[in-house]
Amino acid sequence: MADTAKAKATLETMLGELEERIAHIQRDLDEPHDPDSSERAVQMEDDESLEAQAALVTREIASTKRALDRIEAGEYGYCTQCGAEISPGRLEARPEAALCIDCASKG
C-alpha cells in the first residue's frame, strides 16, 4: 500500500513548483513584442515554444491535482483503469501515476 502522507507532501510540492513555472511562462508570454520586425519574429517563435511548454505544464498540474484527489478519496495507489495496485517503485518515480505499468504500457 502506498504511503499516502509522503505522496501527498511530494505532490503538493510538485504542484507548487508547477504553478510557479506556469506563472513564469505566462509572464514571459505577456511581455510585449519588440517593434523591430526581425526581433519580433524571433520573439513570436519563442512564444510558440513557451505556449507548448505551458500546455505541458498545464497537463502536469491537472495530473498532480487528480492524484491529490485520489488521495483524498482513498483511491491513491490503485490503477484507475484496472484497479490493480500500482507498484511502490512506480509511485516513487511518478507520484502522480494513475495507471499501473501494465495499463500504462498498453496505452
Quick one: pLDDT at residue 4?
Answer: 93
Tell me 82's DSSP state. T
d(CA 87, CA 2): 8
This prediction's pTM:
0.83
User: How many Cβ atoms sit within 10 Å of the Cβ of residue 77?
Assistant: 22
Question: Do 78 and 94 meet the contact criterion of CB atoms below 8 Å apart?
Answer: no
pLDDT tens for 57-91 read 999 999 999 999 999 999 999 999 999 999 999 99
Q: How far apart are CA 66 and CA 18, in angstroms?
A: 14
